[in-house]
Chain A
Amino acid sequence: MSTNRQAASASVWRAPVLFAILATLFILEGTVRNGMFSGSWNTSLAMLNMGLISAVTALGVNMQWGYAGLFNVGVVGFLALGGLAPVLISTQPVEGAWEAGVPRVLIALAMAVGTLALAAQLRKRLPKWRGLAVTAVLIAGFIVYRWLFDPAVTAIESNNPARHGNIGGLGLPVLLSWAVGGVFAAAAAWAVGKVALGLRSDYLAIATLGIGEIIVAVLKNEDWLARGVKNVTTIPRPVPFEIELQRNPEFLELANSWGMAASTASGIWVKLCYMLLFLVVLLSIILLAELALKSPWGRMMRAIRDNETAAEAMGKDVTARHLQVFILGSAVIGIAGAMMITLDGLMAPVGYNPLRYTFLIWVMVIVGGSGNNWGAVLGAVLIWFLWIKAEIWGPQLIALLTSPMPDGNLKAHLLDSAAHMRFIAMGLVLLLVLRFAPRGLVPEK
């Protein structure tokens, strides 16, 4: 992509104008009520908040792809892993879970990690009989692991299964869990990177695709961890509840002065609080990322991306730098995952669909401009807006197109399935951008 000349012709006003257009879209959504827009600030802000979380995710992907050229197709896995943090950190402890078998589960997991480390060491160190020794260690480790793990899981899951059946959380502040989400994702990224980063681009893509699927499968099926498909619904909020605000006389006065109903005003207030929190996270990540990019480290990363062989000849450790940036990017994705679960107040593993949480994020990064942080943010919020709006605009378009058709099964079928237009729209946007503006709307400088 670096051979493209598009960047040279881009004006400095390009990004501000595009951001202004984006802002206008959200203002229209908040104020104008017609077939295209809802005219509700609640809807507009809800969309913006999810857009900001998508922007953080896109920043993480952009670090991996835009700075280092690593094609990570396991975004959904790192998001889901980050989402585990609010559950484990901030939900209330489950009574009896510790006695039922938490220590035993922890020992089992430590055992599993130890086995893997031992196997890796043996593989590196042993001169002879490596394969045999490694296999023997792995098999023995697996048997001991299952012997420790299975009874503990059964005990935890039978501990008040209707309400809990999992190990519960630590009851710590939910904002702390955002950072922990980043740590979870970073740890997973380290493990993935260790085995997969030696692979070539296509192979890495497929390896990360697999990891993503596996992490989501674990969350769906390990009920002891986060209740699996039974969902966790009691995740605390860092902002007040709408209902509390509506009972607060001071807030009611404020709502009156805005000229709004208390229910509408409380919804907007809560969303504004979330927006501020998300903006703080987003802007700090951008600040850190920009500082890193302008440092010698950033120049080295781009040198590695543009010509690996040359960078290696200069004595740069390409694999180590790739691992580093892969971990950093995944940590940012993990933070976004934790933010998302906090915003939803709900952990529902079934919702982690790779089309939405991996490939849509990729569309955002490519449309926005890979290698450019502001581009990634712009792309994320814009694509999120279109993704939501396609569900409303798509059927209207279909209705318009099919209006000359006679009523019948075909017309009814087309109208029914018009909601799926969003996939076609996203595919088209991605293909058009890749073809006509391969460096995105706001290209790298």
Chain B
Amino acid sequence: MDILNAVVAILNFVVIPAAAYGAQLALGALGVTLIYGILRFSNFAHGDTMAFGTAVTILATWGLQALGITLGPLPTALLALPIGIAATAVMALATDRAVYRFYRAQKAKPIIFVMASVGVMFLMNGLTRLLIGVDQQNFADGERFIINVRDFREMTGLKEGLALKTTQGLTIVIAVIVVWALFRFLNRTKSGKAMRAYSDNEDLALLSGIDPEKVVRMTWIIAAALATIAGTLYGLDKAFKPFNYFQILLPIFAAAIVGGLGNPVGAIAGGFLVAFSEVAVTYPWLKIAGYIFPDWQPGGLLQLLGTEYKFAVSFVILIVVLLFRPTGLFRGKSV
């Protein structure tokens, strides 16, 4: 019985939150990895693109709510998501046109692109603040739980409860659908194949008549969509605060690099690896140890690191992986 309690506790406090967080990171890292694969630079503005997309989605959600349109048990934000994606895609295409295209034509060094992306980051950050302010916004509505603690306890008779929030369930389901659609697009459609060809070998792709500007446009639209979806899911699951999206950049980069920059499968694996390590390292294991070894009385909480050091975990994983496999676990690119 105690083993069962321990399993439920692990599911509740580690597996479910880490899976949801990992899915959000994976979607973010996919965007970063796509930009790196096609445009060949690390996009520092990705976190703020997520924030911008989410802010538009929130405004649209409020608009829909004001019109009395809701999705019943599901959050209204899902209905607003396409509006957010469209706005972010337009924004991404506009920045590409105004900023990055010039450097592409010049064949500037990747580091110049990175710096330009810092400028874009400032702009996006300012725009998001202008749009929605700096305060925390809650925009989740609908049903809060798929399974709540009390029902679970009554159902199973266990001491330990299990909660599955709607947002966590949704995150995982949506992430699976998005990833499936993305891989289908990349592997099956002509445009997707063109993107992969361009990413693998630019010159060869140009020779075979692939229009590079079209590939770039497609990349920005997909990256904008991924960023908006990831940002909205993160905002629904935790809470929306523009500055958090800047901070989430580090685990997202870590995930993309650990997996191998430019490699979509790697981005997903990296996202989950980072998320599970973050949660596992900062979770106090005392309760679970109590179930498994009822007679053992350890001195502390059995927490490897304080929760405040979540970012440190992603960074340590990053360094360790880079030391042993400089291009990531799944053999990414190095320009």
Q: Chain A 193-236, CB within 8 Å of chain B: the 1/0 string?
A: 00110111111011101110110010011000000000000000
A interface residues (Cβ-Cβ under 8 A, vs B): 1, 69, 71, 73, 142, 146, 150, 195-196, 198-203, 205-207, 209-211, 213-214, 217, 220-221, 354-355, 359, 362-363, 366, 414, 416-417, 420-428, 430-431, 434-435, 438
Interface residues of B in 100-139 (CB under 8 A from A): 102, 109-112, 114-116, 118-127, 129-131, 133-134
Choose one: A431, A435, A438; the contact of B123 (CB below 8 Å): A431
Interface residues of B in 278-327 (CB under 8 A from A): 300, 304, 306, 308-309, 311-312, 314-315, 318-319, 322-323, 326
Show 22 A/B contacts (Cβ-Cβ < 8 Å), sorted by A: A71-B111, A146-B300, A196-B319, A200-B335, A202-B36, A202-B42, A202-B111, A205-B42, A206-B254, A209-B250, A210-B318, A213-B315, A214-B309, A214-B311, A221-B309, A359-B118, A426-B122, A427-B123, A427-B126, A428-B119, A430-B122, A431-B123
Choose one: B133, B253, B312; the contact of A417 (CB below 8 Å): B133
Choose one: A201, A426, A427; the contact of B110 (CB below 8 Å): A201
Q: Which residues of B contact A414 (CB under 8 A)?
A: 130
* Chain B residue total in the interface (Cβ 8 A): 52
Q: Which residues of A contact B249 (CB under 8 A)?
A: 209
| Contact across chains for B119 and A423 when beta carbons are under 8 A apart | no
Q: How far is the CB of A5 from chain B (nearest CB, A)?
A: 14
Q: Which residues of B contact A205 (CB under 8 A)?
A: 42, 114
| Contact across chains for B126 and A423 when beta carbons are under 8 A apart | yes
Shortest beta-carbon contacts, A-B, top 4: A427-B122, A423-B126, A210-B315, A427-B123
Interface residues of B in 238-280 (CB under 8 A from A): 246-247, 249-250, 253-254, 257, 261
| Contact across chains for B319 and A207 when beta carbons are under 8 A apart | yes
Q: Which residues of B contact A421 (CB under 8 A)?
A: 126, 130
Choose one: A150, A196, A198, A220; the contact of B300 (CB below 8 Å): A150
Q: How far is the CB of A195 from chain B (nearest CB, A)?
A: 6
Bound-complex Cα distance A416 to B130 (A) = 9
| Contact across chains for B257 and A420 when beta carbons are under 8 A apart | no
Chain A's interface: helix, strand, loop or mixed, by majority? helix
Given known A206-B257, A435-B102, contact A428–B250 (CB-CB < 8 A)? no
Choose one: A206, A213, A359, A420; the contact of B247 (CB below 8 Å): A213
Q: How far is the CB of B270 from chain A (nearest CB, A)?
A: 13
| Contact across chains for B323 and A214 when beta carbons are under 8 A apart | no
Choose one: A202, A210, A424; the contact of B130 (CB below 8 Å): A424
Q: How far is the CB of A344 from chain B (nearest CB, A)?
A: 22
| Contact across chains for B99 and A431 when beta carbons are under 8 A apart | yes
